[in-house]
Amino acid sequence: MYQKRMMRAYDKKTRPREFKEGDLVLKKILPIQKDFRGKWMPNWEGPYVVKEAFSGGALILTEMDGKSLPNPVNSDSVKKYYA
């Protein structure tokens, strides 16, 4: 009963992020990528355009000039970009 109550309280505040084709997004830079700027390194890169959005949360992104990224990206590692 406690867990259900906690789940309801959490679900009240969270909103699922849904992306459509044509949305502008910023992609999180993963810590695997080496950069010598240390803590001054930017956290987000982009903007990118969503080319295709799958139901499981995977996104295929393209750059603004139409060049497609080699791998799909999880929707947890992107956020909407408002221009």
- 0.85 exceeded by the pTM? no
Residue 61's region, left for phi above 0, alpha for psi from -120 to 50, else beta, is beta
pLDDT digits (tens, 9 = 90+) for 1-60: 999 999 999 999 988 888 999 999 999 988 776 666 777 888 899 899 999 999 888 999
8 A C-beta contact, residue 44 and residue 24: no
User: What is the rounded distance in angstroms from the CA atom of residue 40 to the CA atom of residue 42?
Assistant: 6
pLDDT at 33: 63
Domains and CATH numbers, the chain: 17-80 (2.30.30.140)
8 A C-beta contact, residue 63 and residue 27: no
Mean pLDDT for 56-83 is: 92
pLDDT at 24: 96
Whether the pLDDT of residue 74 is over 90: the answer is: yes
